[in-house]
Structure 1
Amino acid sequence: MTSETVIYITLAAITALILALFQYFYKSKLNSQLKLVLTVLRTISIFAILLLLINPKFESFTYFDEKPTLVVAVDNSESVIYLNQDDRAREVANILLNNSAINERFDLQPYHFGKSVHSLDSLNFNERQSNIALALTQLGDVYADQTAPIVILSDGNQTYGSDYSFMSQKVNQPIYPIILGDSSVYSDLSIKQLNVNRYVYLKNKFPIEIIANYNGNETINTELKIWSGNSVVFRKVLQFDASNNSEIVSTALMANSVGVKTYRAELLALDNEKNKVNNLKNFGVEVIDQKTNIALVYDRMHPDLGALKKAIESNEQRTVLILKPVDYLSTINDFQLVILYQPNHNFKQVLKSVYDQKLNSFIISGKTTNWNILNGSQTYFKQKITQQTENFQPNLNPNYETFIVENLNFNSFPPLESEFGALEILVPHETLLYKMVDGITTEDILLATLEDNTTKHAVLNGENIWRWRAQSFLNTNTFNSFDEFINKLVQYLSSNKKRKRINIDYKSFYNGNDDVIVSAQYFNKNFEFDDTASLSITLKNKDNASIRQVPLLLNNGNYRVDLSGIEPGDYDFTVKHNLESVATSGSFQILEYNVEQQFLNADISKLKSLANTSGGEAYFPTESELLIEHLLSDNRYKTIQKSIKNIVPLVDWKYLLGLIALSLFMEWFIRKFNGLI
């Protein structure tokens, strides 16, 4: 309470007393006792009312103790059980979580992690990948404003994500690794990495690069073989010793037939080798008959051209040539799709050829587009010409039905610049993206696909799509999501297949640790997307004839099923509607490979480095009691007494209102009783 408020309260008390004395003592004929009682009651009433007008504020404090947090994160990946450390991990986790002194000193927060982080309920060590960097980052973010040391039980073998060696710079907490694994050094051969293109072309040779490693001190000889079925298609003798412990082997194989072809790279094992799993690696390639050739026709240089070429050619089945209009006209029959970038007066003959020959096209407009020529060269759409441009942000149409589109967080994308005015499409079409202005979605088209008899077309009404690709990278640290979006659009435009009531999206083969996701869209008889359908997938393993049926669930506008974890092999599948005779089929192959079984030891050096740089300390499972003693004795982890300050205005004090009412009532009653009213 300020000194100014105290002065106001003093003046209010004096004023209340003076007014009461004036009323009941000045020229009053009442007896002295009655005067005194009425004066006190009137003084109380007036003073209380004046206090409400002044409304002084009072402070109150609530004190409480806040214990530091102790985060316990357990690596739940398969590598822990493969190194025979699962029982030790459970034992150490139980010792920490059930220690009475630790529970009294810390607020325990247990987690387990693999590819993602979850609250600890049970440990089964069946996660197919481990992302230590993600676990440390997320836990560091959650407890950034607290004192929260992190105890991590792991073998240090990360198979997914960023290198966790540098996480101490981002996680502002001491980290205490408990190292799960054998510190002994064994002689071991391994295929550290194998690089090969996913797609190859018929009758072409495709390159293979294999990095072979040796861990040991003796001089040894081994042989690298590449198998295709039961036949050896490549072999090379390798020699390693303590100083020469790695070799890069490059070769090329011929693609002789179309389809998915699988191979196996193998290093001949040592006599006393403990881990032979990492001597083998299966890999596959998909042999295709020919590339899809796409012409990107332009008359003005723009960053969009490079972004489109990069995005489309991220799929090795496609080649993009950037051509001037006159060059395209001389090679028009070499392409399955033409992209017309900002057509102007130089595109007049190109537009006529595309329309007359009924070619599929993708038209991208911008501020230099000549809409008079573009409107007059075809009958598919008309743009209102205003000679003004405006920036429009994209908004995804969730009911788009032509092909499966994943939401790229379009609302975060920068705006595109295009002609101000509505685009009217005169043939059957589907709007993929609407224009959005100042956060309000309009009905104007930003991106749409359309069909006219046997031809397919798309119109993007805006330039600067290169900024979308850049923003996609900022959002996800990869261009993949944007590139996949563009490739799905290109795949639709470059194909003349008729629409199906069930569209499916999947890969022809998956590596052993890939997420096996199959997506589908279902349309009713009017080709309208149906989000109430009951779809299921019937999966048949061609190797053992086993069959399983799994429902598809609606997720972000698509039906999806996650088949991750099924055993390697060849599979046929059918996605069908459970109440109608509508179905579509496909097949894929899962290659045998378990990245969690590639390790022979714990990564002790990296875990110790992580502990040292973060201000923590590394321990082995047998030293868990030392860790507990360290945590209990470390002065950084003390219980802190905190207080909460509450400021309460007098007007919120309900008892004062009651006092005013009571004093006024008693004054009225006494005066009434004595015949003064």
Structure 2
Amino acid sequence: MQTETILLIIAAFIISLIVSLYQYLYKAKSTTKKSVFFAFLRFLSVFAILLLLINPSFRKKTFFTEKPKLVVAIDNSSSIAYLKQEQQVVSFVERIKNSKEINDRFDINYYSFSDNLKDSLRLSFDQKQTNISRTLEDLSQIYKSSTAPTILVTDGNQTYGKDYQYSSSRYKQQVYPVIVGDTITVTDTKIAQLNVNRYAYLKNKFPVEAILTYSGDQSVSSRFQVSLGNAVVFSQNITFTEEENSKVLNFTLPATQVGVVQYNARLIPLENEKNKVNNAKAFAVEVIDQKTNVLLISDMVHPDLGAIKKSVESNERRSITIQRTSEVKNIDDYQLIILYQPNSRFRGVYEKISTARKNYLTIVGSKTDWVFLNKTQNKYYQEITRQTEYYIPRFNPNYSTFLFDDIGYEGYPPLIGNFGEIRISSNHDVLLYRAIGNIQTEEPLLATIEEDGIREAILLGEGFWRWRAQNFLDTKNFESFDDFFSKLIQYLATNKPKSRLNTISESFYYGNANIKIKAEYFTKNYEFDNRGSLQISLKNKDTEETQTIPMLLKNNLYEVDLSNLKAGNYDFTVTVSGENISRSGSFTVLEYNVEQQFLNAHVTKLKQVATNTKGKSYFIGQNEKLIQDLIQDQRYQPIQKSKENVVSLIDWKYLLVIIILLLGIEWFARKYNGLI
């Protein structure tokens, strides 16, 4: 308490004493017990009121004990059930929960994990993927500022993600892997991986890479074959030894029919082989009979050209050719023309595009001849200022021509464009607006135009190669930007009429992947309608089983998750309640459960994780030893902490009650004695 406050309290004490003595004892004929009692009551009430006005503060220190945290993360993937270890895992968790010693020592937090981390213990052991590396990363963020040794109950078999054996070295907590599953190595051959392109072209051959592995100490022979229906289309004898325990086969298969073609790869199991599930694997290829050819015309060299080429060819169903204006002879073989910074030398190109009625994308920048461009077409007009400006993109969430997501455009570097007003006179839809610094405008930066059956897009700025680079810095890949450009190319390369209902799906899905069907629904003005009631009717063509599921609204599309579907061929129809609109499609689910490809626990990796994090590994039956080691480990000690709170007297509500009580007693006593 400050000296000034103490002096004020002393002054309040003196003032209260003077007031009470003056009112009841000063000039009194005689001093009685009643007058002394009244003076005492008045002294207390005045002193309490003055204390409230002074409002002194007090420091209150409390002590408490903080136990170290203990994280228990349980593998909830289906490999635990496949290895028949679910009961042992549940028993282990119950033992931890019921251990008084460990609960007294630690503050325990339970998690389950598969492809991601969940803060619950709803163990079903039916999840299709395992990502241990991501689990450790998530826990690292949650407990980055506290002591939290981690018990990791798993078989160590990861189906995707970074190699946790090495990424665990960045985990700051001690990890105690509890190894689940059989640790005895048995003879086993398996198809470890099949690498194949998703698409192939009719009458071409597509490459396939098969990685085959063997565990055992004897020399064995088997046969690898690929079949299409009942016909074997590829076959090769394989020999493994203890030293040569893996084979990589590279071969090609012919694409002879259009559509989704399903193949079955099989490595003939050995006679004494225990796990035969991992000896077979299905894969599929979608055979298409044409390729989208894109022509990029430019009379200058610019990094944007490389970004366009990379983005277009990221989809193997598209190819791009780059030519100068003087090299352009025939454009009939191309489905889309891209004009980069046109000038007067593009006059013949525009005439060819007009004659052939081709869709095209125009990209303008600081070297664009706007005098020529304003004269050669009448869809848009740029004010001539001969000055440039940096334009920041701003996403238009109401863009309705086709489905687009905001991939973080406003965080992307600005484009260099021509300063001045831009007017678009044709029917258009703006995807990106211009922003200059903090000033947001309604002028377009990227817009699509559709007129007289011809589709065109115009990008009013150069330097978008930096967007692709920024996308890599943000996400460690180019997928978001390439997907953005791919959708634009897809729209411009086709002349399909607008539809109020569109569906988005793949032609086939692997059994371990998320199966999601999406739909976009528009009003009659082709604005996205979030009021629609959409449902999907699903039919299994093999069993004739049907079901109808409502689709949920997520952002600017409707979606349904069908990840629990069994392998088979399916037809679907999406309908809108109250509207005579529907869209149909089909897809195939290939039978594959990656979690059933493992026969043993991955002991080596889990022991390395324990070494990397200064922990210790245990087997599932060593729960008592684990509990005792944790309790006796001197690194995990309860910590006594103190917390100091500053409390003001005005916050103490009882003082007001005391004041009212004192004044009330004084009033009633005076009234009783006839002094009022």
TM-score where L is the length of structure 1: 0.90
Question: What are the Cα deviations for residues 353-374 of structure 1, in whole angstroms up to 9, with x where unaligned?
Answer: 3345432111222333332222
Counterpart in the other structure of 1:544: 543
| Aligned 8 A contact 1:16 1:44 in 2 | no
Change in Cα spacing, 1:551 to 1:639, as seen in structure 2 (3 Å) is same
Paired amino acid for 2:205:
K
Change in Cα spacing, 1:620 to 1:33, as seen in structure 2 (3 Å) is same
Q: How does 1:51-62 map to 2 (within 5 A)?
A: 57-62=57-62
Paired amino acid for 1:446:
L
| Aligned 8 A contact 2:219 2:242 in 1 | yes
| 1:39 to partner: Cα distance | 11
Paired amino acid for 1:104:
D
Question: What are the Cα deviations for residues 426-478 of structure 1, in whole angstroms up to 9, with x where unaligned?
Answer: 22222222334556653222222120111111122223322322333333333
Three-state SS of the structure 2 residue aligned to 1:190 is strand
Counterpart in the other structure of 2:673: none
Q: Distance in 2 between matches of 1:304 and 1:41?
A: 89
Q: How does 1:186-205 map to 2 (within 5 A)?
A: 186-205=186-205
Counterpart in the other structure of 1:574: 573
Q: Distance in 2 between matches of 1:276 and 1:603?
A: 19
Counterpart in the other structure of 2:63: 63
Q: Distance in 2 between matches of 1:658 and 1:622?
A: 63
Q: How does 1:320-399 map to 2 (within 5 A)?
A: 320-327=320-327, 329-399=328-398
Q: Distance in 2 between matches of 1:161 and 1:168?
A: 13
Counterpart in the other structure of 1:248: 248
| Aligned 8 A contact 1:404 1:505 in 2 | no
Change in Cα spacing, 1:661 to 1:356, as seen in structure 2 (3 Å) is farther
| Aligned 8 A contact 1:20 1:40 in 2 | no
| Aligned 8 A contact 1:355 1:377 in 2 | no
Question: What are the Cα deviations for residues 83-104 of structure 1, in whole angstroms up to 9, with x where unaligned?
Answer: 1111111111121123222222
Three-state SS of the structure 2 residue aligned to 1:332 is coil
| 1:612 to partner: Cα distance | 1.6
Counterpart in the other structure of 1:129: 129
Q: Distance in 1 between matches of 2:421 and 2:46?
A: 70
| 1:531 to partner: Cα distance | 1.2
1:304 correspondence with 2:304: yes
| Aligned 8 A contact 1:177 1:608 in 2 | yes
| Aligned 8 A contact 1:367 1:418 in 2 | yes
Q: Distance in 2 between matches of 1:564 and 1:14?
A: 77
| 1:281 to partner: Cα distance | 1.6
| Aligned 8 A contact 1:312 1:320 in 2 | yes
Q: Distance in 2 between matches of 1:422 and 1:600?
A: 67
Change in Cα spacing, 1:4 to 1:354, as seen in structure 2 (3 Å) is farther
| 1:62 to partner: Cα distance | 2.4
Three-state SS of the structure 2 residue aligned to 1:608 is helix
Change in Cα spacing, 1:54 to 1:355, as seen in structure 2 (3 Å) is farther
Q: What is the percentage of aligned positions where both structures have the same residue?
A: 47
Three-state SS of the structure 2 residue aligned to 1:310 is helix
Counterpart in the other structure of 1:277: 277
Question: What are the Cα deviations for residues 564-594 of structure 1, in whole angstroms up to 9, with x where unaligned?
Answer: 1211222221112232221111121222211
Counterpart in the other structure of 1:521: 520
Paired amino acid for 2:636:
Y
Q: How does 1:278-677 map to 2 (within 5 A)?
A: 278-327=278-327, 329-437=328-436, 441-649=440-648
| 1:503 to partner: Cα distance | 1.0
| Larger mean Cα displacement after TM superposition, 645-654 or 361-370 | 645-654
Gaps of 5+ in 1: 671-677
Counterpart in the other structure of 1:217: 217
Q: Distance in 2 between matches of 1:52 and 1:219?
A: 93
Q: Distance in 1 between matches of 2:355 and 2:389?
A: 32
| Aligned 8 A contact 1:297 1:341 in 2 | yes
Q: Distance in 2 between matches of 1:593 and 1:14?
A: 86
| Larger mean Cα displacement after TM superposition, 352-361 or 190-199 | 352-361
Change in Cα spacing, 1:8 to 1:471, as seen in structure 2 (3 Å) is farther
| 1:524 to partner: Cα distance | 3.1
TM-score where L is the length of structure 2: 0.90
Paired amino acid for 2:468:
R
Change in Cα spacing, 1:36 to 1:105, as seen in structure 2 (3 Å) is same
| Larger mean Cα displacement after TM superposition, 449-458 or 401-410 | 401-410
| 1:240 to partner: Cα distance | 1.0
Q: Distance in 1 between matches of 2:230 and 2:52?
A: 95
Change in Cα spacing, 1:422 to 1:152, as seen in structure 2 (3 Å) is farther
Three-state SS of the structure 2 residue aligned to 1:622 is coil
| 1:154 to partner: Cα distance | 0.7
Q: Distance in 2 between matches of 1:649 and 1:372?
A: 75
| 1:153 to partner: Cα distance | 1.1
1:105 correspondence with 2:105: yes
| 1:599 to partner: Cα distance | 0.7
| 1:385 to partner: Cα distance | 3.8
| Larger mean Cα displacement after TM superposition, 39-48 or 277-286 | 39-48
| Aligned 8 A contact 2:535 2:551 in 1 | yes
Counterpart in the other structure of 1:160: 160
Q: Distance in 1 between matches of 2:346 and 2:36?
A: 105
Three-state SS of the structure 2 residue aligned to 1:590 is strand
Question: What are the Cα deviations for residues 5-52 of structure 1, in whole angstroms up to 9, with x where unaligned?
Answer: 667877x6799699989x99xxx9888979999999999999989988
Aligned length: 674
| 1:216 to partner: Cα distance | 0.8
Three-state SS of the structure 1 residue aligned to 2:600 is coil
Gaps of 5+ in 2: 670-676
Q: Distance in 2 between matches of 1:178 and 1:383?
A: 68
| 1:558 to partner: Cα distance | 0.3
Change in Cα spacing, 1:635 to 1:426, as seen in structure 2 (3 Å) is same
Q: Distance in 2 between matches of 1:561 and 1:482?
A: 25
| Aligned 8 A contact 2:64 2:642 in 1 | yes
Question: What are the Cα deviations for residues 352-408 of structure 1, in whole angstroms up to 9, with x where unaligned?
Answer: 433454321112223333322222221222233444444333333233222222332
Tell me how large the CA RMSD over aligned residues is. Answer: 3.4
Q: Distance in 1 between matches of 2:49 and 2:557?
A: 66
Q: How does 1:23-38 map to 2 (within 5 A)?
A: none
Q: Distance in 2 between matches of 1:40 and 1:300?
A: 99
Change in Cα spacing, 1:666 to 1:124, as seen in structure 2 (3 Å) is closer
| 1:197 to partner: Cα distance | 1.4
| Larger mean Cα displacement after TM superposition, 567-576 or 376-385 | 376-385
| Larger mean Cα displacement after TM superposition, 342-351 or 615-624 | 342-351
Paired amino acid for 1:68:
P
Q: Distance in 2 between matches of 1:39 and 1:88?
A: 79
